[in-house]
Amino acid sequence: AKADGRGCFKLYAEHMDTALRERRAMEGELRSAVANGELELHYQPLAEIEDGRVIGFEALVRWNNPRRGQVPPAKFIPLAEETGMIHDIGDWVIRQACRDATGWPAHMKVSVNLSGKQLTSFKMVQRVLDALHESGLPPQRLELEVTESVLINDPETTLELLRNLRELGVSIALDDFGTGYSSLSYLVRFPFDKLKIDSSFVQGAAESPENLAIVRSILSLAGYLNITTLAEGIETREHIELLRSEGCQQVQGFLLDKPMPQNALHQFSRYPIAG
Ligand code: C2E
Ligand code: CA
Ligand code: CA
Ligand code: CA
């Protein structure tokens, strides 16, 4: 095997080469995706756990590429972040989401995911304002979702930026809560409107006492701080009954519906999930 040392290295180098070329190719195609109209938003309902009433939809971006088919966000958002394309893509997402939401019943909100990269400049405040003005959507109907990780690098500046966004009248949700660095102190210092409990704890709560303990402590903390709670990744009746009995207020997950294109949203107002 030792004699193969060089051959192995050459193979490895070729492999790297292929990976790099593939990355470049994808980068090039992603660069023209917005202009070519290849991005699309799908919407997943968020509902009150008590009566199944739909309170809004989360916008989840899809990339429909003629050659690659539908590329999931986990495959291209990281690339968009590394290359800076996330600013243009993120802009398109906010604008499109606001436009789409103006056609929904007036009590329904649209939730938009923001990447940490989008929160490094105060220009973001103007971009959100532009999207609201352009679409005519009242700020109270827009929710921005951020993860704990946005606070890692420069928490003071990021919190100031979030505060400015909130002053526009939009609400701010903390996404994937529990999976990132524990930022319990930020919870007290920043008035987040909602905590989205990550699906791993939601789905694990029925199986392990540790996960149940995490869910319980998030819910009690949110209760003290008067923050709305939503459980992500609800797939079964068991998940929903458990979260209901623990006092969680809102749910989202495949049990209700998967993310759907805008034109499939018309009839949704209530899901039969009442206990
Ligand atoms: P996320 O914000 O945590 O979104 C929830 C993800 O869980 C979505 O995956 C959704 O389809 C999936 N999901 C919803 N309910 C269930 C369920 O019951 N079971 C399971 N197994 N999965 C469920 P998706 O659409 O592939 O998005 C993945 C991630 O990509 C998102 O996670 C978000 O972090 C990111 N993302 C999506 N759209 C955007 C965007 O417009 N901008 C940015 N920056 N990130 C986005
Ligand atoms: Ca989200
Ligand atoms: Ca999430
Ligand atoms: Ca997630």
Cβ(81)–Cβ(117) below 8 Å: yes
Place of tokens 């303990």: 213
Residue nearest ligand 1's atom 33 by CA: 113
CB 231 within 8 A of CB 243: yes
Pairwise CA distance, residues 96 & 99, whole Å: 5
Report which DSSP code applies to 3: G
Alpha-carbon distance values, 179 to 57, 196, 218, 233 (Å): 22, 11, 12, 14
Q: Does the Cβ of 72 fall within 6 Å of ligand 1? A: yes
**In whole angstroms, what is the distance from residue 80 CA to residue 88 CA?**
9
- In this structure, the residue with its CA closest to atom 34 of ligand 1 is 113
Q: Encoding tokens for residue 117?
A: 């990269």
From the CA of 41, give the closest atom in ligand 1. Answer: 41
Residue 3 pLDDT: 53
Could you tell which of 30, 34, 60, 175 is best to mutate to test the pocket of ligand 1, judged by most ligand atoms within 8 Å of the CB? 60
Q: Percent of the chain scored above 90 by pLDDT?
A: 78
Give the SS3 label for residue 184: helix
Ligand 1: distance of its center to the CA of 233 in Å? 10
Whether residue 3 has its Cβ less than 6 Å from ligand 1: no
Between the alpha carbon of residue 26 and those of residues 21, 33, 146, 197, 222, the distances in Å are 9, 10, 26, 32, 41
Residue 179's pLDDT is 85
Question: Tens of pLDDT along 243-260?
Answer: 999 999 999 999 999 999
* pLDDT tens-digit readout, 108-161: 999 999 999 999 999 999 999 999 999 999 999 999 999 988 888 888 999 999
Alpha-carbon distance 53 to 50, whole Å?
8
Residue 78 Cβ < 6 Å to ligand 1: no
- Give the global pTM: 0.94
Q: Does the CB atom of residue 200 touch ligand 1 within 6 A? A: no
**CB distance 60 to ligand 1 below 6 Å:** yes
Q: Which residues have CB under 8 Å from 112's CB, separation 6+?
A: 58, 59, 93, 94, 97, 142, 143, 144, 145
Q: Is 40 in the pocket of ligand 1 (CB under 6 A)?
A: no
Is 113 near ligand 1, meaning CB less than 6 Å away?
yes
Calculate Rg over the CA atoms of the chain: 21
44 lines ligand 1 (CB under 6 A): yes
Taking the centre of ligand 1 as the mean of its atom positions, its distance from the CA of residue 160, in whole angstroms, is 26
Tokens encoding 223: 């209760």
Would you say the CB of residue 183 lies under 6 angstroms from ligand 1? no
Ligand 1 atom with least separation from CA of 147: 34
pLDDT at res. 182: 64
Residues with CB under 5 A from ligand 2 (ion): 113, 145, 175
Residues of the chain with pLDDT under 70: 1-6, 9, 182-183
pLDDT attached to residue 1: 46
- Our measurement of the distance from residue 183's CA atom to the centroid of its chain's CA atoms, rounded to an integer in Å, reads 18
pLDDT of residue 106: 95
Residue nearest to atom 41 of ligand 1 (CA): 61
CB neighbour burial string for 72-95, b if at least 16 within 10 angstroms, e if fewer: eeeebbeebbeeebbbebbbbbbb
Task: For residue 18, give the H/E element and its range.
Answer: helix 5-31
Handedness of CA 179, 184, 188, 190 (dihedral sign): negative
